[in-house]
Amino acid sequence: IAGITQAPTSQILAAGRRMTLRCTQDMRHNAMYWYRQDLGLGLRLIHYSNTAGTTGKGEVPDGYSVSRANTDDFPLTLASAVPSQTSVYFCASSGSGGHNSPLHFGNGTRLTVT
């Protein structure tokens, strides 16, 4: 792998179902993030993790949970999907250059909740 890998690439999910979006990075970055991107809106932060073992809530955390068991993996779980969670989800990471380090993004997961 090189960079950030997200899986699946796309998914159609029935409302009420549970779903985990996977994110793995091989850059040994400490900080990782989950964003959602909706048409006409800026990227919105769902959850973040500054280092393995810690997580924090972003702007739109409701209905989502994350874990950071190790440096490389940062899965995002939708416990019971709703149609408003239809979106494109991007995982990102940033290096040790401080808060102004640029984000590296995965290729995204396009999720449709029906």
Partner 1 sequence: GQNIDQPTEMTATEGAIVQINCTYQTSGFNGLFWYQQHAGEAPTFLSYNVLDGLEEKGRFSSFLSRSKGYSYLLLKELQMKDSASYLCAGLDSNYQLIWGAGTKLIIKP
User: Which residue type is seen at 20?
Assistant: T
Nearer to partner 1, 81 or 106 (CB): 106
* Tokens of residue 89, six digits: 């989800």
Q: Establish if 57 lies at the interface with partner 1 (CB under 8 A).
A: no
Beta bridge partners of 88: 37, 110
Among positions 1, 2, 14, 42, the unique one binding partner 1 when judged by CB under 8 A:
42
Among positions 32, 71, 108, 109, the unique one binding partner 1 when judged by CB under 8 A:
108
Angle at 30 between CA 66 and CA 101, to 5 degrees: 115
Q: Establish if 14 lies at the interface with partner 1 (CB under 8 A).
A: no
